[in-house]
Amino acid sequence: MTIIVQLLILALVILSIILVVGIPVTLASPGQWEKSKNLIYTSIGIWVGIVIVTGIINSFIA
């Protein structure tokens, strides 16, 4: 169970780094927001899902 939480946290960290770099680049590039809007919203939804699942699973461990 601990390995699952560690993998979820690793996925959360990697996705967070991608979003921290990707969102400002997308917003600063002309015309890219319209093309990448759905991908960014999906990535944010996945990030929120990972946070919630990690919190729920972690509550069973601690």
| 31 inside domain | no
Residue with tokens 């601690």: 62
Q: How far apart are CA 32 and CA 59, in angstroms?
A: 40
Does some domain include residue 7? yes
- 16 assigned to some structural domain: yes
The number of folded domains in the chain is 1
Is 29 part of a structural domain of the chain? Answer: no
Output the pLDDT for position 62: 66
Cα(8)–Cα(55) distance, rounded to whole angstroms?
10
Predicted pLDDT at 38: 94
**Domain annotation covers residue 32:** no
Which segments in the chain show pLDDT lower than 70?
62
Structural domain includes residue 30:
no
44 lies in some domain = yes
Contact 43, 18 (CB under 8 A): yes
Is residue 8 included in any domain, yes or no?
A: yes
Task: Dump pLDDT digits (tens) for 35-48.
Answer: 999 999 999 999 99
Q: Which domain holds residue 41?
A: 2-21+37-61
